[in-house]
Structure formats: structure tokens, C-alpha cells
């Protein structure tokens, strides 16, 4: 298993470009008799109107937990995006695909958000994973009808492991433990879906990415300290570009 994880690069930029290349070369002709309805994403849910619900309004506002997490995620990722309330889901990302899909949204299920108000690490973890999908664009130019199911599942697994690695790094930057995301994965046995790697592999990816980011920040802090520079808000703000 270690060998497989080593192949999954944990550096976000390198990972993203290597997946893009791989995506382009993995096309294949459509075989007769295959199911035609194939796509990479699920249909986006509808944004829920929460204007008459004071509890949810507070939760999603700048002073509430969701708004607070959104601000931190936007600042550390340097990626614009918005978290919007939705029904009947945990969370789902809708990336912006120029000319195809207006997006840059993360839908967050209101029941899930309410249930985990006292578990900021878990909300932060799930949102960071979805944010990884907003950043990743390697599936956007692909036509799924050219691919067979095996190829689609393989690409989805790469996409999901990218989002997991991204979440690990982002969680460190925004000051949340990866334990909440791992707890969520354990509870939902996501690992048994063909679209994901197994649970142990996903956990390993998240933890390694988190540790890689921690090591990088500590190194940066050391260099700054050696140069006699101090930042009032600490080394965590020396975020990766």
C-alpha cells in the first residue's frame, strides 16, 4: 500500500498538472452496448432559502461557524468561492467551468451543518475536501462518453485523492485537525465506493498531506527566524502560493 501512496503526489500544483495530462491521454472509443449515461459529476443541488430561519442565517453568516470557516478557507487557499446552504446532502462542490457551468460553489447540507455545529474540525474537513474539487479542473475538459466505466472510476479516484490531499494541506493552514474529516470518512464508509480509494488509503493521504504542510510551514518559520524576522500572527500565515 505504501508504494501506491507514494505515487500519489501530495504537492497540489504538481498533482493537478499530472492529472490533467493523464486525463487527456486516457480517452478510448465508446464500445457498443455500454450504458450511455455517464458523467463525472452529480447534478448540483438547489440552493436552499434560509432567510426565514434565524438559526441557519446565523450559522452561515460571517459571525457563524460556516461563515468563519469560509473566510479562513478563502484566505488560505487564495481561491474565491462560496459556501451555500442546500438540502438532503452532506456537501458537494460545483467548480466553475468557463463556458459550461457557472460555479465556484460548495453546497453544504443544512442538517449536516447543524448536527456538527459543535465539531468545527469535521465541518472544516468536509469543506476543505470540497474546496479541493473547486480548485481541481482536470476533469472539466473531458467528455465522459468517450470513456468506459473502468476509466471513469479510475479518474474519479484520482480526483477524490487530489481533494483529500488538498484537504490535508488546507486543514493545517486554517488551523484545524484532520481528525474530523477522518471521523467523517469512517462514519460513512465512503471507502467502499468504486469512486474512492479504500478508507485506509484515503486516511493515509490526508495525514501525509497534513504532515507535509506542517513540515513546510515549520521550515519556513525556521528560515524567517534565522533572518531575525518575526510575524505577529505566526508562521501559519506564510502560506504556500
Q: Does 135 bind Zn ion (CB under 5 A)?
A: no
Backbone angles phi, psi at 101, to 5 degrees: -150, 125
Stretch in the footprint of Zn ion (CB under 5 A) among 17-25, 65-73, 80-88, 153-161: 153-161
Residue nearest Zn ion by beta-carbon distance? 163
- CB atoms near residue 235 (< 10 Å): 17
Q: Does 59 bind Zn ion (CB under 5 A)?
A: no
- The 8-class DSSP code of residue 37 comes to -
Q: What span, in angstroms and rounded, lies between the C-alpha atoms of 27 and 25? A: 6
Instruction: Provide the minimum distance between the beta carbon of 180 and Zn ion in the complex, in angstroms, as a whole number.
Output: 15
- Asked if residue 184 lies in contact with residue 129, where contact means CB atoms within 8 angstroms, the answer is no
Specify the DSSP element, H or E, that contains 83: strand 82-86
User: Closest CB to Zn ion among 69 and 92?
Assistant: 92
Q: Does 165 bind Zn ion (CB under 5 A)?
A: no
Q: Does 163 bind Zn ion (CB under 5 A)?
A: yes
Q: What span, in angstroms and rounded, lies between the C-alpha atoms of 173 and 72? A: 9
C-alpha cell at 97: 467551468
Instruction: Provide the minimum distance between the beta carbon of 129 and Zn ion in the complex, in angstroms, as a whole number.
Output: 6
Q: Does 167 bind Zn ion (CB under 5 A)?
A: no
Q: Does 206 bind Zn ion (CB under 5 A)?
A: no
Write out the residues near Zn ion by the rule CB under 5 A: 160, 163
Amino acid at each position: 500500500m505504501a508504494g501506491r501512496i507514494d505515487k500519489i503526489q501530495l504537492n497540489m500544483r504538481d498533482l493537478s498538472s499530472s492529472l490533467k495530462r493523464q486525463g487527456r491521454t486516457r480517452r478510448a472509443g465508446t464500445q457498443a452496448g455500454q450504458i450511455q449515461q455517464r458523467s463525472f459529476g452529480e447534478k448540483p443541488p438547489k440552493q436552499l432559502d434560509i432567510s426565514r430561519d434565524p438559526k441557519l442565517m446565523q450559522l452561515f453568516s460571517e459571525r457563524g461557524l460556516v461563515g468563519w470557516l469560509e473566510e479562513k478557507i478563502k484566505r488560505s487557499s487564495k481561491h474565491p468561492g462560496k459556501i451555500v446552504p442546500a438540502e438532503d446532502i452532506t456537501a458537494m462542490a460545483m467548480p466553475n467551468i468557463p463556458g459550461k457551468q457557472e460555479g465556484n460553489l460548495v453546497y453544504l447540507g443544512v442538517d449536516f451543518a447543524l448536527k456538527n455545529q459543535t465539531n468545527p474540525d469535521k465541518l472544516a474537513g468536509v469543506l476543505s475536501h470540497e474546496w479541493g474539487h473547486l480548485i481541481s479542473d482536470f476533469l472539466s475538459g473531458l467528455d465522459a462518453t468517450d470513456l468506459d466505466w473502468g476509466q471513469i472510476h479510475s479518474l474519479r479516484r484520482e480526483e477524490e485523492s487530489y481533494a483529500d490531499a488538498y484537504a490535508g494541506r488546507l486543514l493545517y493552514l486554517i488551523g484545524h485537525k484532520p481528525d474530523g474529516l477522518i471521523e467523517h470518512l469512517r462514519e460513512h464508509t465512503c471507502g467502499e465506493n468504486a469512486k474512492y480509494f479504500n478508507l485506509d488509503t484515503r486516511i493515509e493521504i490526508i495525514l501525509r498531506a497534513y504532515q507535509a504542510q506542517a513540515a513546510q510551514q515549520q521550515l519556513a518559520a525556521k528560515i524567517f527566524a534565522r533572518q531575525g524576522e518575526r510575524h505577529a500572527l505566526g508562521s501559519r500565515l506564510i502560506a504556500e502560493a
